[in-house]
Amino acid sequence: MPKTNATTTLNRSLGFWSALSLVVGTVIGSGIFFKQSSVLDSAGSTGSALLAWFLGGVITLTAGLTIAEVGAQMPHTGGLYAYMNGIYGKFWGFLSGWMQIAVYGPAIIASIAAYLSILLVGFFKLNGAWHAPLAIGVIILIGGLNMLNNRWGAAFQIVTTLGKLLPIAAIIIFGLFYGNQDAFGQSLHTVTQSTGNFGVAVLATLFAYDGWILVANLGGEIKNPQKILPKAIILGISLVLVAYTLVSYGILHFIPAATIHRLGEQTTVYFAQSAFGTIGGRLLNIGIIISMVGCLNGKIMTFPRIVYAMAKKDQLPFSKQLAYLHRKTYEPMVATTVIIAYASVMILFFNPDRLSDLCIFTVYCFYVAAFIGVFLLRKRNAGQPRPFSTPWFPLTPLVAILGALFVIVSEIGSDLSGVLLSLLIVAIGIPVYYLKKQHLRD
């Protein structure tokens, strides 16, 4: 491995459109296409389901508005890790980063790739033995793309984001103008017993909106991040909110609630085939594949930046190697390789879906801490100018905090054993932190 020039730094070349496409692209994956039935079943009626999608978006938007103020004051590589480090110190910063790179990031990448391979196997009518090789192959290909100059990964993100908007636009337009169902007044109670409640429905939508904060991991590569980062986060979440709500309305306006309940995850495919014929279903599958590829690209582009940021502070084993940047591409080559290798191992030996679910609780714990951080920073930096100020303060961050607490409480109530296991995963990072700290002293 060639030695890194001491002056080699991340390439600050990403503009507004790249940042915006990362926000939209890392949020919109497969959830909006496959979760219509589960949200409706939990909400109990079409009106409540639409309200759940809208309310989940509003809560997410308040989170984005809050983090925008924090991020504008700390426009550094690492996102949530950098914020926790700056607000609460190295220990809590390390734990937030550890949680993301030890399980959450690689598991999210692995689970998206696994779902993508299922679609690819079905689309090309391949043997089921191709699931793991295809998932790993996609991860390696996209990882390789992101080892080139970051402009390539950003350009690919823009293209896939535009591609995924086409099926979304088709669903919205056809549903709005050709549907004849009551999108607000249908109830499932006359058909079947609802399987959840409104809170569970909102919780499902919050998970579908998650991922927007990952663009902050590229804070050190965005031009004028104090201005671009807040704009990209706020506009990106707003666009997703509108898209999710209109897609849901279009589907509920076109397909009866009882049929949606019966179809389950096949609801959107049924919509496409009914609206556009058999070929429409295949075209929608292509759109979903593009959507998931773009989402996967955003994750692979952003998570290695956390590894790099922690390694730059010498907080990880083999920090010198993990902090390596290629002299020509300015990319964290080793960090990216480690993340894609780790995700590939998860595909082969673990259930990445379960692993990523386990970390939802801890991710939201750190979200709450970051949201509270906006109050601490205002007190700490009283009288100093801010690049961006959260509107409707303190109401906006309070809504964000309450939304995150809702997720935390819901997780404790529904999966206590998973919560305890996720806390154990975070706790494993504590001895790593102190061993590394002791090594630096010696």
Q: Check pLDDT > 90 for residue 51.
A: yes
Q: What's the confidence (pLDDT) of residue 5? A: 44
Task: State mean pLDDT over 306-320.
Answer: 88
Q: Check pLDDT > 60 for residue 193.
A: no
Q: What's the confidence (pLDDT) of residue 273? A: 81
Q: What distance in Å separates the CA atoms of residue 362 and residue 359, rounded to the nearest whole number?
A: 5
**Percent of the chain beyond pLDDT 70?**
94
**What residue type is assigned to position 375 of the chain?**
F
Beta bridge partners of 45: 187
Torsion angle of alpha carbons 79, 80, 82, 86, nearest 10°? 140
Residue indicated by tokens 């949606």: 260
Q: What's the confidence (pLDDT) of residue 353? A: 73
Positive or negative torsion for Cα 136, 77, 215, 98: positive
pLDDT band at 4 (very low <50, low <70, confident <90, very high): very low
Task: State mean pLDDT over 397-417.
Answer: 91
Q: Domain locations in the chain?
A: 16-441
For Cα atoms 207, 433, 351, give the angle at the middle one, nearest 5 degrees. Answer: 40
pLDDT band at 191 (very low <50, low <70, confident <90, very high): very low
- Tell me which of 139-148, 260-269, 402-411 is least confident: 260-269
Query: 400 and 62 in contact (C-beta within 8 Å)?
Result: yes
Q: What's the confidence (pLDDT) of residue 163? A: 84
In this structure, how many other beta carbons lie within 10 angstroms of the beta carbon of residue 438? 9
Query: 280 and 273 in contact (C-beta within 8 Å)?
Result: yes
Query: 355 and 103 in contact (C-beta within 8 Å)?
Result: yes
More confident call, 55 vs 170: 55
Write out the two tokens for 255.
């397909």
More confident call, 293 vs 331: 293
Q: Check pLDDT > 70 for residue 1.
A: no
Which top CATH class is 16-441? Answer: mainly alpha
pLDDT band at 8 (very low <50, low <70, confident <90, very high): low
